[in-house]
Structure 1
Amino acid sequence: MPEERVHHEHDVGYKYIFSHKETFLELLRSFVKKDWVNLIKSEDLILMDKSYILEDFSEEESDIVYKVNICGQDVIFYILLEFQSRVDYRMPMRLLFYIVELWRERLKNTSKKDIRNKNFKLPAVVPMVLYNGKNKWTASRNFKDILGSNELFGENIIDFRYILFDVYRYDESQLEKMANMVSTVFLLDKEISKEDLMKRLRLTAYVLKKITPEQFDILKMWLKSIMKPRLDTESKIKVEEILEKSSQGEVD
């Protein structure tokens, strides 16, 4: 019997945050050091209002899907939000199924005439996993690693490598230096001492001065609805003080 997936506020909170395209782009720019990231403009990102549920797995996944056109070609970013107590070693397999499902949908909505055209191309799908578990992520990052005898066949077998955002493994001092919305959420989401939490809440006040009005509203909602219920009384009061001052333009 496979372990039942734990659904909780993280799913809702992270999906809410990264469904805002400027914040999703901030995630890429902060943690994905690839040249193609610089080709993406937030106004070109399209959030696809669809969640994929496959017969292969009994649970419903929490995911985010974006589409963008880069250099005249469609690219799809598939982000799986992974909040389990244990690392899922099926991850490469799960991602492959979603990639294929995205391609199937594109083919279903494309005329046979266009598909037969020699210039027809399927969209590139870039798989990503956002994981906030305490245990180190030890699942294979490359798909070919879960194939038997993969070393024999080299480039003749299917392969891809997904991008992993491993929240607990990011260096805390680097997150503090970033001082943007995404790094602040990652810092506050970790289970830490009360003293460190108060320090990070003070950092939140600084970040609130830098982010856009839209991000301000999103972070405020996340703090009140997702973060605040998990805090002790003193920390809740600090959150209220920060939000009250910031709403009046008095953040120190």
Structure 2
Amino acid sequence: MVNHHDTGYKELFSYPELVRQLMEGFAPPEVSAMMDFSTLTDHSGNYITPLFNEKFEDKVWSVEVDWEGVRQRVFVYLLLEFQSTVDHRLPIRMLHYVACFYDHLIKTKVTTARKGMPPIFPVVLYNGSKRWTAREDIYRMVRPEPPMFLRVYQPHLRYYLVNESAFTEDELAARDTPLSGIFEVEKASKDVEALQGAVKRLAARIRAHPEKARLDEVITRWLKRHLKRLGAEAEQALEEINSLVEDHAMLAENLQTWAEKERQKGRQEGRQEGRQEGRQEGEEIGLQKGLREGRRLAAMNLLKLGLLTDEQIAQTTGLSLTEVIALRSGQSH
């Protein structure tokens, strides 16, 4: 994918606490319930060949699961899909990424082709505002659907989509984790006052977390990077903030100052727009008055000539018959 900016999410998901919050809060419950999160191990690296010639963010973790009395390791392939438009090639890309990761496991002797490949849980995290319309299984891209005897030979790989914009404020609040707070901040970024509230709740959730020191450090860096993307004024609100937990009073004050500046800017832009509209309206009124005065003068000149009827003068000048009769009456006095 084309990555227009560094979202900071790759660093966020370098921390097992946030991977756990993603799985417990946003993955299917039957999947997360099997996971032993104390066994989370980071396997991220550069596994992708230059087939797509693009930059993207991904993370790979493994976790042990218990399934019907059997304990085994599952790899969680997390693709961070942050771009302005939905990429309909994603099922093809995901198939390629997973194949490259399996190839990496063979090359690094984690397994062999004879032993087989470990199970994988592909997850796509999407934070765009546009509705997600890409197929979620590459098999759904095969068109027309092949007859039954060919279906078994078609590629199959389904990914699990976590679409931030699909969650309501209440749903995110119910999860009540630092990660759900991060998603709230993302969703509130277009509204300064909503963003103030989201950042305040995020700081409170970090303070309540057992790993608050580690999370505070990484989430503060993420928030600074995020506000920088919103513009210079937003970036200044966190310029002196080094900790959302320790500097929460200063943070609240700075965000309030920024909100006031944004409101003042909005009022100024509104006044300028009003003045511009007023000028345009005045010009339009002046033009209309000039046209009407010109028609009146033309009608009066035609009345003086006495060659046309009132109806003909009205038709020629664009005035109403009543106005022409009134002009004739005025001339006769």
Q: Which protein is richer in helix relative to its size?
A: 2
State whether residues 77 and 121 of structure 2, in contact with CA within 8 Å, keep that contact through their aligned partners in structure 1.
Answer: yes
Q: Which has the higher contact order (CA 8 A, sep 6+)?
A: 1
Deviation track 1:34-62 (CA, whole Å, cap 9, x = no partner) reads: 32312223321111130333232011221
Aligned-residue CA RMSD (Å): 3.0
Deviation track 1:78-109 (CA, whole Å, cap 9, x = no partner) reads: 11111111110011100001111122222334
Aligned mate of 1:168, from 165, 169, 174: 165
**Inter-partner Cα distance in structure 2 for 1:51 and 1:172:** 36
User: Could you say which residue in structure 1 is the equivalent of 2:202?
Assistant: 204
State whether residues 49 and 65 of structure 1, in contact with CA within 8 Å, keep that contact through their aligned partners in structure 2.
Answer: yes
User: Could you say which residue in structure 1 is the equivalent of 2:29?
Assistant: 34
Q: Where in structure 2 are the equivalents of 1:1-252 lying within 5 Å?
A: 5-10=2-7, 13-71=8-66, 72-110=71-109, 115-116=113-114, 120-153=115-148, 154-190=151-187, 191-211=189-209, 212-213=211-212, 214-227=214-227, 230=230, 233=233, 237=237, 243=243, 246-247=245-246
SS in structure 2 of the partner of residue 106 of structure 1: helix
Distance 1:228 1:247, change over 3 A: farther
Residues paired across the two proteins, number: 242
Q: TM-score, normalised by structure 2?
A: 0.64
**Inter-partner Cα distance in structure 1 for 2:171 and 2:29:** 18
Matched to 1:162, the amino acid is Y
**Inter-partner Cα distance in structure 2 for 1:30 and 1:239:** 31
Which shifted more, 27-36 or 64-73?
64-73
Q: TM-score, normalised by structure 1?
A: 0.83
State whether residues 138 and 158 of structure 2, in contact with CA within 8 Å, keep that contact through their aligned partners in structure 1.
Answer: yes
Distance 1:217 1:16, change over 3 A: same
Q: Which runs of 5+ in 1 are unaligned?
A: none
State whether residues 144 and 157 of structure 1, in contact with CA within 8 Å, keep that contact through their aligned partners in structure 2.
Answer: yes
State whether residues 130 and 166 of structure 1, in contact with CA within 8 Å, keep that contact through their aligned partners in structure 2.
Answer: yes
State whether residues 142 and 160 of structure 1, in contact with CA within 8 Å, keep that contact through their aligned partners in structure 2.
Answer: yes
**Inter-partner Cα distance in structure 2 for 1:249 and 1:101:** 44
Distance 1:57 1:151, change over 3 A: same
**Inter-partner Cα distance in structure 1 for 2:185 and 2:247:** 23
